[in-house]
Amino acid sequence: MSKREELTIFEREYIKTLIDEGYTYSQVQEKFQRKYNRTISKGTITKTLDRYEETKSHEDRPRIGAPQLYSERYKRNILYDALQDRTKTACGISKDDNINPEGASTRTVGRILLDKGLKSVNYSSYDLTIRPKNIDERYEFAKSHYFWTIDQWSQVIFSDESDLLPQKCGKMKVRKRTGEQIFLPPDENLRNLTVKVWGEISYFGVGPLIRYEDTMKADKYIKILEGNVLHYWPNLKSGLKGNDHPLLFQEDNAKAHVNKDTKKFFLKNKISLLSWPPQSADLSPIENVWALLQDGLYNHRHDLFSPEDTYEKAVEIWYNIKLDNIQNLYYSLPDRIHSVYENQGHCI
């Protein structure tokens, strides 16, 4: 393990606890990888145990080196500024004379923030901190679908809800602590242009894009399903004469989707569901379609003055999404499944 990947106090405590509970080195390696999504060598385990025997502590040893150029108070001010605006870059902080009057370089500011536990990571509007139970479910899903072909995935209809607003979906960097959840609320002016929609896609193109108000609850969801699902995809219904290959319907685990009345709708209409693991937006191709749609809205943001304008433009963009784009997303599904499997259920 390199110096940059030195174990944290919590990781050292975790290794020592597992050893005390009687786990072998190999079992510790496997559990550590599942928990922290990175590997450790048996040598690292030995060094961790030796270090504890020597010091009776998991704390970092005091470092010997050149004297600190910047005081702890100075560093705290830089940290405070970064915490106030999670999107502010090290370069931006270094150029701010009010925060950085002594002129610390961009590299130095970045190192100060790293030492304080703030890492620069890609921002995602959905939570990437997956619960341990859900990690296991994702891993089992990837394992059971590891050998699915494109032909099999092409039989799946993917559905989802989304809040659409004219905001760019490209990569954005934020600073966060390990395990911390970050949500950046949209600009208030953009919030006033937001619309809630439900949509579905298939290997053969997009389905309907339905606008709804307020929270999606079971009764509202069932009405949307009744008016759209079988109308667009009659082959979802199993048992129909001549329908030897019924389609599968995918939905996530939102409350409206797992409601008992919703389940009754699918049973009554003989629609088969693809069992979907929780917290798996990274697996669903419709998430990428939402991003395409939102980027399109961003390009027309100067023409949008109301939620009605947003929805009208969204419908126009939605029905003009190229089939190649949709099918390329379906082609990516085996790779996504393989990545989740190789990551032991962690996010890809």
Give yes or no for a contact between 84 and 93, defined as CB atoms under 8 angstroms apart. no
Whole-number Å distance between alpha carbons of 161 and 148: 26
pLDDT per residue as tens, the chain (348 positions): 444 457 888 888 999 999 998 999 999 999 888 888 888 999 899 988 988 888 888 777 665 555 567 888 888 999 999 888 888 888 889 899 888 888 888 989 988 998 888 888 776 655 557 889 999 999 999 999 999 999 999 999 999 999 998 887 766 778 888 767 777 766 677 778 999 999 999 999 999 999 999 999 999 999 999 999 988 888 888 755 555 568 999 999 999 999 999 999 999 999 999 999 999 999 999 999 999 999 999 999 999 999 999 999 999 999 999 999 999 999 999 999 999 999 999 987
Q: Report the CATH number of the 132-342 domain.
A: 3.30.420.10
Measuring CA to CA, which residue among 150, 145, 149 is closest to residue 341? 145
pTM of the model as a whole: 0.66
Contact 148, 330 (CB under 8 A): no
Packed helices 25-36 and 42-55: angle between N→C axes, nearest 10 degrees: 100
Q: Please state the separation of Cα 10 from the chain's center in Å.
A: 24
- pLDDT at residue number 348: 79
Q: What is the DSSP-derived secondary structure letter of residue 125?
A: S
Q: What angle do CA 194, 197, 202 make, to 5 degrees?
A: 140
Identify whether the C-beta of residue 166 lies closer than 8 Å to the C-beta of residue 194: no
Residues 6+ apart with CB under 8 A from 222: 261, 262, 265
pLDDT of residue 275: 95
Helix H or strand E segment including 99: none
DSSP state of 236: G
Q: What residues have CB less than 8 Å from 126, skipping those under 6 apart?
A: 281, 287
- What integer pLDDT is reported at residue 186 of this predicted model? 65
pLDDT given at position 5: 57
Distances (CA, A) of 299 to 141, 191, 310: 37, 17, 12
- DSSP for 42-83 reads HHHHHHHHHHHHHHS--SPPPP-SSPPSS-HHHHHHHHHHHH
Domain boundaries, the chain: 3-55, 72-117, 132-342
